């Protein structure tokens, strides 16, 4: 087994493209080279650029290593839960089929609003998600003082077919862990910091890997010892799949930390697309809501066509009701076309189609389906799961290499 001093010294020969573990048992670290190659290496070592790169690599290695030890566990949790989510949703639909199977819609839309408020109280804020395909159920997101979760209604009858808490069940548990570590705003900050740190790790890893001889750049020595195999596998996987992992981590960070979209919009010289606010009017609270079917009829006149995705009732008297639709060409599976309305009068206050929003929102519209593996169908979903496994491999191989270094001291 080579000592870590040999390994560390060998890292300075990264640019030669030769795995440092091929030098095991060779104190000179050079006798594996031909005389011509040795002469070339000695000549290169006098080059100022080369010397600068060599002296920089120990620092980059320390940054790479200590960032991994600091935030590695968070990244590993995100990677593992991300892989599980690619499998979890279809399995959830099979295991809990009773929650997701319903008949064709035969009742007015208002019936679902009435059903939610009858079940959970008249003051319950209503958000309804409609099935993308016939045969599904209407999902109501419910949050009261004592319960937070989803209720499912049969489109044929508006009857309640089941309910479960926000973190109940395997899929919901994994989703909450992946989204905010069950820490809500604090968890989002932790994930953002971890994602940013991991992007730095990927960049430093690229510099550490960058070869001077490309014929050795992607070589994995399967005939060497375990440490050599781990080292080669770690660096080659980073080089080959690093860009895809980078995009996945960046989109995840972008989605979890909402201010990033605002910054992107501001840098583009645009104003964030915000929902309209109704003027204060104490008398409005006394007025009944317009029937949901009337509201949707007006929304469909404002933005014809497309698929109805969800409806969100306002949380207070100055907020507007939001109708969300998916139009043809929209990359976001849930759509990013919004119609904001006065819930009392069914008046259309504002509308924004998916390709008319601010830049930060439009980037999110592409980032979400890529990150969740829903941009290019099943192939994208499988590839996303694979990239998650690559990220897990980065963590496992990196930890093992670090552990072997500690044991060699």
Structure tokens at 315: 């949380």
pLDDT at 11: 41
Between 108 and 212, where is the model more confident?
A: 108
Domain presence at residue 367: no
Query: Is residue 35 scored above 60 in pLDDT?
Result: no
Give the domain-ending residue among 168, 192, 213.
Answer: 168
Domain presence at residue 269: no
d(CA 80, CA 27) in angstroms, rounded, equals: 41
Longest dimension (CA), the chain: 92
Query: Is residue 48 scored above 80 in pLDDT?
Result: no
Query: Is residue 68 scored above 90 in pLDDT?
Result: yes
Pairing type for strands 348-352 and 138-143 reads unpaired
pLDDT at 225: 86
Q: Are residues 299 and 336 in the same domain?
A: yes
Number of domain units in the chain: 3
Structure tokens at 11: 């890292």
Q: Are residues 183 and 321 in the same domain?
A: no
d(CA 395, CA 170) in angstroms, rounded, equals: 24
Share of the chain above pLDDT 90, in %: 71
pLDDT at 37: 44
Q: Are residues 210 and 78 in the same domain?
A: yes
Q: What is the mean pLDDT of residues 217-225?
A: 86
Domain presence at residue 122: yes
Q: Are residues 182 and 260 in the same domain?
A: yes
pLDDT confidence bin for 67, thresholds 50/70/90: very high
pLDDT digits (tens, 9 = 90+) for 259-269: 999 999 999 99
Q: What is the mean pLDDT of residues 214-239?
A: 89
The partner residues of 326 in beta bridges, in order of sequence, read: 307
What does 231-271 look like in DSSP terms, one character per residue? HHHHHHHHHHHHHHHHHHHHHHHHHH-THHHHHHHHHTT--
Q: Are residues 74 and 186 in the same domain?
A: yes
pLDDT confidence bin for 6, thresholds 50/70/90: very low
Q: Are residues 184 and 260 in the same domain?
A: yes
pLDDT confidence bin for 345, thresholds 50/70/90: very high
pLDDT digits (tens, 9 = 90+) for 95-153: 999 999 999 999 999 999 999 999 999 889 899 999 999 899 999 999 988 899 999 99
Query: Is residue 51 scored above 50 in pLDDT?
Result: no
Q: Are residues 164 and 182 in the same domain?
A: no
Q: The domain spanning residue 318 has which CATH number?
A: 3.10.450
pLDDT at 250: 97
Q: Are residues 118 and 238 in the same domain?
A: no
Q: Are residues 346 and 210 in the same domain?
A: no
Structure tokens at 42: 């000695």
Domain presence at residue 139: yes
Q: Are residues 279 and 310 in the same domain?
A: yes
SS3 391: helix
Query: Is residue 384 scored above 70 in pLDDT?
Result: yes
State the average pLDDT for the chain. Answer: 87
Q: Are residues 64 and 206 in the same domain?
A: yes
Domain presence at residue 362: no
Q: State which residues form the domain around 132.
A: 97-168
pLDDT digits (tens, 9 = 90+) for 152-199: 999 999 999 999 999 999 999 999 999 999 999 999 999 999 999 999
Helix segments in 96-184, DSSP class H: 97-100, 110-120, 170-180
pLDDT confidence bin for 5, thresholds 50/70/90: very low
Q: Are residues 351 and 283 in the same domain?
A: yes
pLDDT at 145: 85
Decide: 245 and 354 in contact? Cβ < 8 Å.
no
Give the domain-ending residue among 137, 168, 199.
Answer: 168
pLDDT at 54: 55
Query: Is residue 399 scored above 60 in pLDDT?
Result: yes
pLDDT confidence bin for 52, thresholds 50/70/90: low
d(CA 217, CA 15) in angstroms, rounded, equals: 9
d(CA 221, CA 276) in angstroms, rounded, equals: 61
pLDDT at 283: 84
Strand (E) or helix (H) holding 340:
strand 337-341
0.85 exceeded by pTM: no
Between 100 and 39, where is the model more confident?
A: 100
Query: Is residue 4 scored above 80 in pLDDT?
Result: no
């Amino acid at each position: 087994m080579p000592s870590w001093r040999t390994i560390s010294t060998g890292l300075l020969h990264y640019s030669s493209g030769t795995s440092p573990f091929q030098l095991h048992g060779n104190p000179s670290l050079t006798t594996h080279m031909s005389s011509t190659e040795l002469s070339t290496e000695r000549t290169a070592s006098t080059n100022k650029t080369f010397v600068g790169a060599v002296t920089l690599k120990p620092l980059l290695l320390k940054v790479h290593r200590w960032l991994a030890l600091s935030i590695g566990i968070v990244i590993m949790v995100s990677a593992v839960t991300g892989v599980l989510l690619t499998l979890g949703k279809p399995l959830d639909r099979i295991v809990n089929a009773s929650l997701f199977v319903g008949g064709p819609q035969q009742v007015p839309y208002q019936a679902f609003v009435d059903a939610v408020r009858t079940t959970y109280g008249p003051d319950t804020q209503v958000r309804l998600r409609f099935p993308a395909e016939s045969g599904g159920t209407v999902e109501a997101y419910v949050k009261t003082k004592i319960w937070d979760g989803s209720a499912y209604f049969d489109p044929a009858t508006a009857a309640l077919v089941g309910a479960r808490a926000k973190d109940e069940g395997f899929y919901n548990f994994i989703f909450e862990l992946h989204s905010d570590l069950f820490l809500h705003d604090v968890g989002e900050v932790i994930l953002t910091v971890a994602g940013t740190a991991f992007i730095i790790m990927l960049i430093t890893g690229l510099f550490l890997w960058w070869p001077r001889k490309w014929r050795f750049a992607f070589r994995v020595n399967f005939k060497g010892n375990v440490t050599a195999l781990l080292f080669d596998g770690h660096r080659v996987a980073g080089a080959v799949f690093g860009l895809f992992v980078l995009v996945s981590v960046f989109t995840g960070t972008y989605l979890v930390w909402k201010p990033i979209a605002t910054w992107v919009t501001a840098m583009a010289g645009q104003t964030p697309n915000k929902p309209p606010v109704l003027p204060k009017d104490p008398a409005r609270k006394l007025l009944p809501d317009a029937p949901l079917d009337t509201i949707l009829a007006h929304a469909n006149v404002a933005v014809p066509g497309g698929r109805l995705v969800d409806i969100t009732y306002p949380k207070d008297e100055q907020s507007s009701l939001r109708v969300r639709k998916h139009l043809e060409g929209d990359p976001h599976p849930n759509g990013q076309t919004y119609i904001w309305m006065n819930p009392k009068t069914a008046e259309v206050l504002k509308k924004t189609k998916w390709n008319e929003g601010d830049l930060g929102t439009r980037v999110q519209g592409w980032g979400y389906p890529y990150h969740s593996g829903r941009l290019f169908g099943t192939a994208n979903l499988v590839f996303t799961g694979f990239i998650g496994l690559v990220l897990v491999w980065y963590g496992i191989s990196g930890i093992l290499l670090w552990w072997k270094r500690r044991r060699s001291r």
